[in-house]
Each structure stands twice: as structure tokens, then as C-alpha cells.
Amino acid sequence: MPLTKSQILNDLAEKTALKKKDVANVFAVYNELVAKVLKKEKKFKLDGIGILRIRQSKARMGRNPATGEPIKIKAKTRVRCTVAKALKDKVL
């Protein structure tokens, strides 16, 4: 089961001797930084974790799985994450 944000904040607060509120503030500032850099640079590298990239997907034709009817899927912008090899090796 994945960790909740609250569990992550508690664990980091415990291990760093910071208050949970301070750790939450660091998370919020970091989140804003990631969003700002992604908007401007279209890429954000997290050393040892991976790379976040802005990616455009093209419009395409798909099928409604319930009816089999063809439908048009609109083009959209996505954030994609590529996991770093070091993290893959630790996990796998």
C-alpha cells in the first residue's frame, strides 16, 4: 500500500528532527519549484530518482470499449516520469 503524504511527512520529521509543519512547508516550496521549472524548461531532473518531462500527445482515433464505436481522442499535454537507473536497480 502506498504511503500517504501525512505518513511521509511524519517519517521525514522524525528522521530530520524538524517539525512536521516545517517539513510540509519544504514540500510545498519544492512542489512549486518543480512546477515552475517544468513550465519554463519542460524538464526537471531529480538526481537518483528520475526525470519529469512535459510531453504533447497528438490527437488520434480510438474505440469506445463498451460499444466498439470509433471516437476521436483530443491532443493533450502530459507530465511524464522516467525513473533513474539507480532507483530501478535498488527496487528491482
- Nearest to residue 55, comparing CAs of 35, 76, 36? 76
Question: What confidence score (pLDDT) does residue 22 get?
Answer: 95
CB atoms within 10 A of CB 54: 14
Q: What is the pLDDT of residues 3-61, one digit of tens each?
A: 899 999 999 999 999 999 999 999 999 999 999 999 999 999 999 999 999 999 999 99
Rounded-to-integer distance, Cα 26 and Cα 28, Å: 5
**Grid cell for residue 39:** 513550465
